[in-house]
Amino acid sequence: MRYGFAALIIVCVLFAIPASSIAVELGDEAPALVGTDLDGNEVSLAALNAGGKFVFIDFWAKWCAPCIRELPNVAPFYDEFASDRFEMIGVSLDTEDTYEEMLGVIADEGLHYPIIYEGGGWETRLAVEWDIHSIPATFLVNPDGIVVLKNIRGEGGLALMRKLVEDVPGFLPPPVDVQTSLAQDASEAKIDLIIHELEARKYKLQFNYYYRYEDEAGETQEVEDLFGLFITPKMGADGEWEFDLSAVPMMWDEMKQRALLDLVSSKDTATLTVHIPVGHEVGWVFLAVTYIPPELGGPIALHHAYARPPEEEPAE
């Protein structure tokens, strides 16, 4: 089954090597962000938040093709939506070698929001403080300083952000953590979805995975899939949490036959493990998890990462 969604994200990340998951997660308090824009004005995330503003933060660079592709969407969106409730900050990872070209892009695209440039590339101070390893890296921080969206891309992502700011300003991400891994022998990729603070609500989730391998003829083959799951915690008669799991019917029987799901719960936490058989020698598997909150209606990215086999311990 082939969809193209995961491959699109792969291209965006591979254009911005080195690639890994972004450490600033949904629900985290945003790290400090203070700098000087190209006009010499101080830019402070905390000050904007204190003024009651949501702030959209975009780490980008002239040399990042996916970043440049986003600008025709971002520029008019900002010009229309900037207000006493919304601001945007760009953080450039350009260096002296691309500085003039960066200025050309800013002029050509008509970017009117403050952009911080320090010339450090991947070693730019703010990129290090935010632990940025791939771009574009985008975040929406609410007035309380909490990261409520990330990986915001395309017109759909901007529309979802606008809906949150205008219609659901009190939205908070679900109390969910995601961890991904690939077995030492690359036989299986694994997604651990940990739900904290259990409550009776339905979680509508989408899982994507993608990897490449060489077949016996030496040809590169691609494997890509996505599937959806519904997880509904409910309190049982004995006072213990129970769970309803469901998926697209055609997938559900296959998934049960292949034993791809494992759910373990305790008093306050549940861990759903999704096992993805690989069956080929691979160096990485790209894994992504999105959540569709009913109050927003659109998908928000919970996690995306390249899972790689753990390094072997050196022999003593």
pLDDT at residue 12 above 60? no
Tokens standing for residue 123:
């070693």
Domains and CATH numbers, the chain: 5-167 (3.40.30.10), 176-307 (2.60.40)
Could you report the per-residue pLDDT of 47-76, keeping only the tens digit for each? 999 999 999 999 999 999 999 999 999 999
Give 166's contacts (C-beta < 8 A, 6+ positions apart): none
pLDDT at residue 165 above 90? yes
How distant, in Å, are the alpha carbons of 38, 194, 313 from that of 69?
22, 34, 42
pTM of the model: 0.81
Share of the chain above pLDDT 90, in %: 55
Task: Specify whether the CB–CB gap between 85 and 165 falls below 8 A.
Answer: yes
Could you report the per-residue pLDDT of 227-284, keeping only the tens digit for each? 888 888 888 888 888 888 877 655 656 655 555 788 888 778 889 898 888 888 899 9
Could you report the per-residue pLDDT of 306-315, keeping only the tens digit for each? 899 887 665 5
Query: What's the pLDDT score for residue 253?
Result: 60
Could you report the per-residue pLDDT of 71-120, keeping only the tens digit for each? 999 999 999 999 999 999 999 999 999 999 999 999 999 999 999 999 99
Give 70's contacts (C-beta < 8 A, 6+ positions apart): 58, 60, 136, 153, 154
